Copies of this chain bind each other. A is one copy, B any other.
């Protein structure tokens, strides 16, 4: 909040104001304003002269003045809690950003990237959001939750989460893919292909997506009447997948199928299997999760469950904009997107 160097231009004769537009157009400021904002109740003549005044003066409305009175900023925040450095390179994040910007570009809304750096800066983020610096927030709750959902739900600010938040899921809107169903489908692929000893490499248990997927695996295993004891946790990285696969295969050398909660971890698992001389999918079939690019490049290419990230981001953004437009702290809405299976070579 520290103002560093308060040099201010003395009323900057440079930029034209609405007053000048009005004067040039020969109308009142009120009429000029109306003409500029959609032209309700403005005669054709007035509209035309305002338009031309705007053009000759190169007038651009001052956003601060406007939002001071409208109480809108025409911008939304994309909040990324705890962005450890991986986030940016993450295809999930990239896809999200793509989806968001696609929707925003349809309207004149800007995107403010709010990165709550690890540490106590969640407070700063909340402060920023508190006083309506933005019209709404899209929280990419990719990582553990911090109670951010609770805070947000208290904020009376339109808000949508990407991915089910850990808590307050009932008070907050979110868009998620049906992780449970997805992993169920993945597991069923192995069951149907004849696997009888199926293990899973789950994600970190502090992430809802990981937990939901694990639940899906358990459901499918139960439905097939198979034992669900072969579980190992990884951290969604390739190395983590490698370690988990090592441990899993050491404990259960008889596995003929592995359901992995992310493609990156599956890639690690494939490496381990290759080094053990187990052929995929013949000795051990493997199914991944994500299909964000990695899956096509492994050997063999991964059969996986696709998360339509961009679509999710688009839906989330639209949901947010609806809230913003209606200005309703509307009843928590959620969109659950069905996952789809992508069959390749690993199962």
Contact = CB atoms under 8 A, between A and B. Distances in A.
Interface of A: 1-9, 12, 14-15, 36-38, 58, 60-65, 67-68, 70-73, 75, 83, 85, 88-89, 91, 93-95, 97-98, 101, 105, 107-108, 110-115, 117, 121, 124, 127-128, 130-133, 156, 293, 325-327
Given A6-B70, A60-B127, A113-B113, A1 B37 contact: yes
B327 A7 contact: yes
A4 B325 CA distance: 6
A183 B121 CA distance: 41
A85 B98 contact: yes
A75 B112 contact: yes
Contact of A38 (B2, B60, B94, B127): B2
Copies of the protein in its oligomer = 2
Given A2-B38, A5-B325, A105 B131 contact: no
A91 to B, nearest CB: 6
A40 to B, nearest CB: 10
Nearest to A3: B37
B88 A131 contact: no
A162 to B, nearest CB: 15
B115 A1 contact: no
5 contacts: A2-B108, A3-B38, A4-B107, A15-B132, A63-B64
A326 to B, nearest CB: 7
Contact of A68 (B7, B62, B127, B128): B62
A3 to B, nearest CB: 6
B1 A108 contact: yes
Top 6 closest pairs, chain A to chain B, by CB: A88-B94, A60-B131, A64-B68, A64-B67, A5-B325, A7-B327
Given A131-B61, A131-B62, A105 B117 contact: yes
A68 B71 contact: no
A68 B70 contact: no
Given A88-B97, A112-B111, A5 B326 contact: yes
Nearest to A61: B131
B115 A105 contact: yes
Given A5-B325, A89-B94, A110-B114, 18 more contacts: A2-B108, A3-B37, A3-B38, A3-B72, A5-B327, A8-B71, A15-B132, A63-B133, A64-B64, A75-B112, A101-B115, A105-B117, A105-B121, A110-B112, A111-B112, A112-B112, A112-B113, A113-B113
Contacts of A133: 63, 110
A201 to B, nearest CB: 22
Nearest to A110: B112
Contacts of A105: 115, 117, 121
A130 B64 contact: no
Contact of A3 (B9, B70, B89, B327): B70
A154 to B, nearest CB: 11
A56 to B, nearest CB: 15
